[in-house]
Amino acid sequence: MKILGLVSGALIGSIFALVAYAVEPDEMLDDPALEERARVISQDLRCVVCQNETIDESNATLAQDMRRLVRQRILAGDSNEDVLAYMVDRYGDFVLLRPRVTAQTLLLWLGPFILLVFGVVNAARYIKRPKAIDTPGLSPEEMAEVDVLIQKTEGPDQQ
Amino acid sequence: MDNVKPTRTGGRWTAIIPIVVVALLVGAFAKRLIDVESGQDPALVQSVLLDTPVPDIDLPPLPNREPGLKTPDLKKEVSLVNVWGSWCIACLSEHPLLMDLAEQNHIPIHGIAWRDDPSASVRWLARNGDPYKLIGQDPVSEAAIAFGVTGAPETFVIDGGGIIRYKHIGPITPDVWANTIAPLVEQLRQ
């Protein structure tokens, strides 16, 4: 059990190790609060070279330059929304990893809830539906016949 | 078995829902595959900067190749802006076409030497030929981000008023030139 614990611990640890960040020390801002804002913003921005990584995680040189630009904008006094808007103005909504709610993305946002409602309605109908086979009970003669049959099959080895 | 009533069969039309859903998915996937196959990769997003003025840039020149490249240079005539680097393999594959255009004096081509060591840029141009009218250095992607560049090479078609009219991602092939960029340039010149 101890070995199992160690192995599973190592496996879990290696999963977290994959979430490494690419920010290099010389990129960081001196003010920890501003640096924290830069990290939050960077985690919402797509690396446009690698496409499925945030610029916070990516080692691509363009991502590095985008991180630097995010920090420049923060130092210039931009709010988080201003910085994101600055990137969207140049790269479009594509650069945002958290799509904004627009007519185009409405289905993306509401889809899961529509499917959930659909599922609940169907489950409710399934549970409430009448039993598939509805037979009248056995007549007293039939019950007697069944009793006889049960007596017959119950051999001496039972009970 | 006379006593057994038939199973309730109401609502059976719903059985076709999964089939319809699967058919729609297959259709959507097929469309995407065909799009990518025919060169319309949706991952290559068209620029949001189309039909907007070129961004403000003021890039320093390469050594001994004054001047650099700045926004007013792009507001004089229909021109191309080509983002390249000596590190960029695909840039080499479109280079002969750019050289041809330059030799024919067809259209001014300006270069943005993106994230490149200036001396490496210079050596690359000496070895492969220099088709550019003006070249600006962009060591920290200042211009690249301003232009919404996602990789090299990328080529922008700028009209005489300095408005971005087209962006081509990847090397310009003879086909792209003949069927897309050249007609657009003709149209913009009228």
Q: Which residues of A touch B4 (CB under 8 A)?
A: 133, 135
Residue A106 pairs in a beta bridge with none
Structure-model confidence comparison of residues A103 and B27, the more confident one: B27
The domain ranges of chain A are: 23-95, 101-130
Query: Which ranges of chain B would DSSP assign to H, the alpha helix?
Result: 16-37, 89-103, 118-128, 142-146, 174-176, 182-189
Q: What is the mean pLDDT of chain A?
A: 84
Q: What span, in angstroms and rounded, lies between the C-alpha atoms of B14 and A58?
A: 46
What pLDDT is stored for residue B1 in this prediction? Answer: 46
What is the three-class DSSP state of B56? Answer: coil
3-state SS track over A50-96: CCCCECCCCCCHHHHHHHHHHHHHHHCCCCHHHHHHHHHHHHCHHHE
Q: Distance, in angstroms, between B103 CA and closest chain A CA?
A: 32
Task: Decide if A29 contacts A71 (C-beta within 8 A).
Answer: yes
Percent of chain B exceeding pLDDT 90 equals: 76
Q: What span, in angstroms and rounded, lies between the C-alpha atoms of B118 and B63?
A: 7
Local confidence band at A151 (pLDDT 50, 70, 90 cut-offs): confident
Tokens 């907007």 found at? B52
Mean pLDDT over A67-87 rounds to 94
pLDDT at A154 over 60: yes
pLDDT at B10 over 60: no
Which of A62, A132, A136 is nearest residue B3 as measured by Cβ atoms? Answer: A136
pLDDT at A159 over 50: no
Q: What span, in angstroms and rounded, lies between the C-alpha atoms of B32 and B15?
A: 27
What pLDDT is stored for residue A88 in this prediction? Answer: 92
Q: Which amino acid is at B144?
A: A
Local confidence band at A155 (pLDDT 50, 70, 90 cut-offs): low
Q: How many interface pairs between A and B have CB atoms less than 8 angstroms apart?
A: 56
Mean pLDDT over A92-99 rounds to 88
B4–A135: do the CB atoms touch at under 8 Å? yes
What pLDDT is stored for residue A25 in this prediction? Answer: 80
pLDDT at A157 over 80: no
What pLDDT is stored for residue A65 in this prediction? Answer: 94
Ramachandran region of residue B54, left (φ > 0), alpha (ψ -120 to 50) or beta?
Answer: beta
Task: Decide if B95 contacts B28 (C-beta within 8 A).
Answer: no
What pLDDT is stored for residue A13 in this prediction? Answer: 58
Question: A15-19, A35-39, A51-55, B166-170: which range is least confident on average?
Answer: A15-19
Mean pLDDT over B23-27 rounds to 96
Local confidence band at B52 (pLDDT 50, 70, 90 cut-offs): very high
Structure-model confidence comparison of residues A120 and B15, the more confident one: A120
pLDDT at B75 over 60: yes
CATH number of A23-95: 1.10.8.640
Mean pLDDT over B65-76 rounds to 94
Pick from A86, A133, A142 the residue to mutate for testing the B interface (most B CBs within 10 Å). Answer: A133
A135–B144: do the CB atoms touch at under 8 Å? no
Extract the tokens encoding B161: 């008023």
Q: How many Cα atoms sit within 13 Å of A57 on the Cβ side? A: 16
Q: Which amino acid is at B154?
A: E
Question: A93-102, B21-30, B53-62, B159-168: which range is least confident on average?
Answer: A93-102
Q: Distance, in angstroms, between B127 CA and closest chain A CA?
A: 25
pLDDT at A21 over 90: no
Q: What span, in angstroms and rounded, lies between the C-alpha atoms of B166 and A70?
A: 27
- Among A17-31, B8-22, B137-151, the range with the most confident prediction by mean pLDDT is B137-151
What string of DSSP letters covers B146-180? HTT--SSSEEEEE-TTSBEEEEEESPPPHHHIIII
ipTM confidence score: 0.75
pLDDT digits (tens, 9 = 90+) for B132-174: 999 999 999 999 999 999 888 999 999 999 999 999 999 999 9
Mean pLDDT over B98-104 rounds to 95
Local confidence band at A130 (pLDDT 50, 70, 90 cut-offs): confident
pLDDT digits (tens, 9 = 90+) for B103-140: 999 999 999 999 999 999 999 999 999 999 999 999 99
- Distance from first CA to last CA of chain B, Å, rounded? 87
Extract the tokens encoding B104: 């024919």
Mean pLDDT over B168-188 rounds to 93
Domains along the sequence of chain B with CATH: 58-189 (3.40.30.10)
Q: How many Cα atoms sit within 13 Å of B16 on the Cβ side? A: 2
pLDDT at B13 over 90: no
